[in-house]
Amino acid sequence: MDGNGSDTVGGLVPITIQGIPLDTTDRFGNSGQAMWFDGNSFFRYGNVLEMDSANFTISLWCSVEELTPAATHHDFPLKKGTTIFGNPSHSGYGFGFRDENPDTLSLAGFWGDQTGGPLHDVTTPVQFDQWYHVAISRCDTIFRLYLNGVVVNTDTLPLGADLTTDVHLSIGAGDRYPHASVNGYFKGFIDDVRFYKGRCLSSSEIVALACTEMMVSLDTTSCDPIMVGDTLLSTSAMLMETFTSLGGCDSTVIHNITITPLDTTVILDADVMIAVQDSADYQWIDCSNGQPVPGETGQSFTPMDDGNYAVQVDNGVCQGTSECATFLGLNEATAGVGLRVWPVPSGGRVNIQLPLNSSSSRYQIVNATGQVVRQLLLRAGNQEVDLDLPAGAYVLRNTTNARTPSKILIIQ
């Protein structure tokens, strides 16, 4: 089903296209490699692919989005006959989905022979919005239904039973042409439809079809070291793990992990403050009020006045803010006396750490308008503080020792 409903092996093409079946992304994420049916569209291929009394296997991949309200019995991703309107009645084969109980979806494989007897079906429960490999096979007198490579139900056929019908083959609905109108429209995704007339595929062959290219790739980007299982990763890595399902399929998961640490260090060179992180966006901040310094968006910054300054750095993946540095003119700037605040930015809960040899100090948190919004008494060591403040930029300043550099707080 590479975007047009045509047979890539035998040259079979639809003779009728109703509605607009759309090409879409397949189960591997490949664009234009599967078909989506909207519940009012289908392909008709004509009176082809009779299975008569021969052995056969038919398989496809599909995902049910929802059941269509107009369905009288089932929604059919693929069908040829199996209707009372056929000649003879009920003869043929197909797949169908129905909701036998509220919120309980089931898959059915159908067959009927030319005796005009009742339609036979074998069923199994499935779920919405999940890709399944489904298959039916006739092996002499045994009719099997497979789900993801596993036999889930069986039935018996009379020896030599003939499944021939004059009803046309359809994908995306239950066609009843030339005797009646279409019903049982399918809404969802269909891919990789395969017919094997004269062949009863072995269990290992069915598993191979269900396992084709079952590889999942995951991409994770982090600014900080992350835990993967029991391992703490601080550098980029590619991890691969293989799982085996109950059906015997090996599924490979490739996890691409990219660690992009952000350096918020500021160094001082003569009368210039420089952000160490290269290839990023920058905004220098006046720590006295938490406001951006107008026009200062470069990697380096030459302050016009003495004071405390920090820089916000964004490398496209991670964002962070440096500690405030005190600028006192040529070669007189200092970078702080041990006060640490993290994370920046935060959701409102931060860690504030004073040197272990320091004494308790009083601090104020000042908003962008200069208003004192919180008073804190901080002790030596680490303490977690819930600021409980609206999103914005704030300044944490020491009121006990005015020489202690201020810190920028960003609440998101």
The reported pTM is 0.55
Are residue 315 and residue 244 in the same domain, yes or no? Answer: no
Are residue 164 and residue 287 in the same domain, yes or no? Answer: no
Cβ atoms within 10 Å of 129's Cβ, excluding its own: 10
For 99, left (φ over 0), alpha (ψ -120 to 50), or beta?
Answer: beta
Are residue 195 and residue 287 in the same domain, yes or no? Answer: no
Residue 320 covered by a domain = yes
Are residue 367 and residue 379 in the same domain, yes or no? Answer: yes
Mean per-residue pLDDT for 12-21? 92
Query: What CATH number is associated with residue 381?
Result: 2.60.40.3080
Instruction: Tell me the pLDDT tens digit for each residue of 330-358.
Output: 433 343 456 788 888 888 999 898 887 77
Q: Which pairing describes strands 215-222 and 250-259: parallel, antiparallel, or unpaired?
A: parallel
How far, in Å, CA of 236 to CA of 336, rounded?
Answer: 32
Indicate the DSSP class of residue 337.
S
Q: How confident is the model at residue 249 (pLDDT cuts 50, 70, 90)?
A: low
Structural tokens at position 239: 């991890």
Residue 1 covered by a domain = no
Instruction: Tell me the pLDDT tens digit for each residue of 115-158.
Output: 877 788 889 999 999 999 999 999 999 999 999 999 999 999 99
How far, in Å, CA of 5 to CA of 13, rounded?
Answer: 7
Residue 182 covered by a domain = yes
> Is the model's pLDDT at 19 over the cut of 90?
yes
Domain membership of residue 229 as a residue range: 215-259
Residue 3 covered by a domain = no
Residue 5 covered by a domain = no
Are residue 37 and residue 98 in the same domain, yes or no? Answer: yes
Contacts of 261 (CB under 8 A, 6+ apart): 223, 224, 318
Are residue 177 and residue 293 in the same domain, yes or no? Answer: no
Q: How confident is the model at residue 251 (pLDDT cuts 50, 70, 90)?
A: low
